[in-house]
């Protein structure tokens, strides 16, 4: 147990501003935002500089106190919730919220871990640049958390996940040493890539204190289109065609089942289908240009869609005539989760398979789930070009008690969906990470070589197991 004597040592180190002990102030940070995981912590440690983080980590190591690094507390998998037994303290990075530099010339921003994503977006925009990664939680998610979870979003097709956008990293390792890898080197072959190892490590190998992030030119012109297609296979054919014709300028490519579109039209006021024809599947596509050269994105997208009609890939299509219409198209995509929630209880899976296998997976896995769990309906939507969809299994119509349905059916459905993903050579976590939610399933499904490697690396960096205990690494009984 962590006693007051230990807390006092941290207060002596960080000052009263650096240690939060008021239970009311702590309360919002010991549960996840979805309310699924509930932990306890006697204090939140909030160092204000890299040196203070290093000193905090060193003191925690000396005292044998476990730490749970935390940014905006927006994890989807309970990754930032401390253990329920109070055996850890929260290490909050929110006071480290400075953008240390932002260079238009170098297309580079150096941000401390606590910088909120939308703050970086605004700062980049002021310089005629943009940071090309965004997600729903951008108003609270922090750079440190985005790095530590290798966050994705809707722009991955062109710009990649955080892995592709982080050019340098500063972190405090579990022994209190500072890993200073902030210099953004495009080529560096001095051995193992520690930077990539810390990206997506969910705070289990130390704590990220700052990152150098690559910026992209601001968007000068965009075209947004909505295309009705017959199948996910045709959607993939459309993606390949537009990539061939339009190259890297295809920035968004989202696939939506007609049934799912129906939920949006039914539940979200003011929405309407962009196309007249009822087609089984839909594609939302965005083409962006960083300059105003001719032909612009609208002309080029229009020409590509004409080609798609000729080839019989597209059934119907609409091009947004203006920014308001473009926003309306995207609003449909962004309302999918909300409208599905309104539709009734569902289990949601964030999964990936190789892109080429995705069209068949979307059809076959849904049919298999519906057959195996009578009454349920299953479908998926999302980032086809990344091989990543959100696969949902909805409770039978009329299911009143969602939590009870999940309690009785959840584990069986989880296992069924994950088995299908593994059979297709896929990943049970495409975007959200493992945290505590998927830890046991990772242990059940990953190969001995992968689990062995994860455990060996964890033990090498954090032999006492003080960094984000219970997250990511399967426990001894798990795999």
Residues 257 to 286 in contact with its own copies, rule: CB under 8 A: none
Q: Is position 165 an interface residue for its own copies (rule: CB under 8 A)?
A: no
The interface region with its own copies, picked from 55-63, 253-261, 331-339, 449-457 by CB under 8 A, is 449-457
Q: Can you say how many angstroms the Cα of residue 131 is from the centroid of all Cα atoms in its chain?
A: 15
Q: Give the closest residue to 207 by CA, choosing from 184, 163, 174, 181.
A: 174
Which residues in the 3-42 window bind its own copies by CB under 8 A?
none
Q: Is position 383 an interface residue for its own copies (rule: CB under 8 A)?
A: yes
Q: Give the closest residue to 334 by CA, choosing from 260, 279, 395, 388.
A: 260
Partnered with residue 467 across adjacent β-strands are: 67
For residues 132 and 434, what is the distance between their CA atoms, to the nearest angstrom? 24
Give the one residue of 156, 255, 362, 378 binding its own copies; rule: CB under 8 A: 156
Which residues in the 284-323 window bind its own copies by CB under 8 A?
290-291
CB of residue 247 to its own copies, shortest distance in Å: 7
The token pair that represents 131 in the structure block: 């940071």
Give the one residue of 200, 228, 232, 345 binding its own copies; rule: CB under 8 A: 200
Q: Is position 101 an interface residue for its own copies (rule: CB under 8 A)?
A: no
Q: Is position 148 an interface residue for its own copies (rule: CB under 8 A)?
A: no
Encoded one letter per residue, x for contact with its own copies by CB under 8 A and - for no contact, window 329-368 reads: -----------------------xxxxx------------
Q: Give the closest residue to 206 by CA, choosing from 246, 171, 255.
A: 171
For residues 302 and 317, what is the distance between their CA atoms, to the nearest angstrom? 10
Give the one residue of 3, 5, 24, 105 binding its own copies; rule: CB under 8 A: 105
Q: Indicate the length of the chain as a whole number.
A: 479
Q: Which is nearer to its own copies, 311 or 450 (CB)?
A: 450
The interface region with its own copies, picked from 81-89, 116-124, 396-404, 443-451 by CB under 8 A, is 443-451
Q: Give the closest residue to 50 by CA, choosing from 100, 101, 112, 92.
A: 112
Residue 58, SS3 per DSSP: helix
Q: Which is nearer to its own copies, 173 or 366 (CB)?
A: 173
CB of residue 381 to its own copies, shortest distance in Å: 15
Partnered with residue 16 across adjacent β-strands are: none
CB of residue 434 to its own copies, shortest distance in Å: 6
Element (H, E) at 147: helix 143-148
């Amino acid at each position: 147990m962590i006693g007051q004597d230990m807390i006092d040592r941290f207060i002596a180190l960080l000052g009263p501003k650096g240690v939060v002990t008021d239970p009311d102030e702590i309360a919002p940070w010991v549960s996840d935002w979805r309310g699924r995981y509930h932990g306890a912590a006697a204090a939140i440690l909030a160092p204000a500089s890299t040196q203070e983080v290093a000193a905090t980590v060193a003191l925690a190591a000396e005292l044998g106190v476990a730490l749970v690094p935390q940014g905006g507390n927006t994890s989807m998998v309970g990754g930032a919730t401390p253990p329920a037994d109070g055996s850890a303290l929260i290490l909050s990075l929110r006071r480290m919220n400075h953008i240390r530099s932002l260079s238009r010339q170098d297309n580079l921003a150096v941000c401390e871990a606590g910088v909120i994503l939308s703050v970086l977006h605004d700062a980049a925009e002021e310089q005629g640049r943009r940071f090309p990664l965004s997600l729903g939680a951008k108003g609270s998610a922090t750079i440190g958390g985005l790095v530590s979870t290798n966050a994705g979003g809707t722009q991955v097709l062109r710009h990649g996940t955080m892995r592709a956008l982080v050019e340098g990293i500063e972190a405090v390792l579990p022994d209190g040493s500072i890993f200073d890898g902030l210099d953004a080197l495009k080529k560096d072959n001095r051995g193992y890539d520690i930077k990539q190892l810390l990206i997506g490590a969910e705070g289990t190998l130390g704590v990220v204190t700052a990152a150098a992030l690559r910026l992209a030119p601001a968007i000068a012109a965009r075209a947004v289109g909505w295309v009705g297609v017959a199948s996910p296979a045709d959607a993939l054919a459309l993606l390949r065609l537009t990539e061939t014709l339009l190259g890297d300028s295809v920035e968004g490519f989202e696939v939506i089942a007609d049934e799912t579109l129906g939920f949006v039209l039914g539940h979200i006021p003011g929405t309407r289908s962009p196309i007249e024809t009822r087609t089984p599947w839909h594609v939302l596509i965005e083409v962006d240009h960083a300059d105003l050269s001719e032909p612009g994105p609208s002309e080029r997208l229009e020409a590509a869609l004409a080609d798609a009609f000729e080839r019989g890939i597209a059934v119907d299509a609409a091009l947004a005539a203006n920014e308001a219409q473009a926003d309306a198209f995207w609003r449909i995509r962004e309302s999918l989760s909300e409208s599905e929630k309104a539709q009734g209880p569902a289990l949601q899976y964030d999964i990936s398979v190789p892109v080429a296998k995705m069209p068949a997976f979307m059809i076959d896995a849904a049919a298999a789930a519906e057959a195996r769990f009578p009454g349920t309906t299953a479908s998926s939507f999302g980032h086809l070009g990344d091989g990543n969809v959100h696969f949902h299994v909805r409770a039978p119509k009329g299911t009143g008690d969602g939590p009870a349905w999940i309690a009785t059916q959840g584990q069986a459905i989880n296992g069924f969906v994950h088995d299908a993903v593994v059979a297709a050579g896929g990943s049970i976590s495409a975007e959200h990470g493992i945290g505590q939610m998927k830890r046991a399933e990772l242990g059940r499904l990953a190969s001995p070589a992968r689990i062995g490697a994860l455990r060996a690396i964890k033990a090498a960096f954090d032999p006492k197991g003080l960094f984000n205990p219970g997250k990511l690494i399967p426990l001894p009984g798990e795999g």
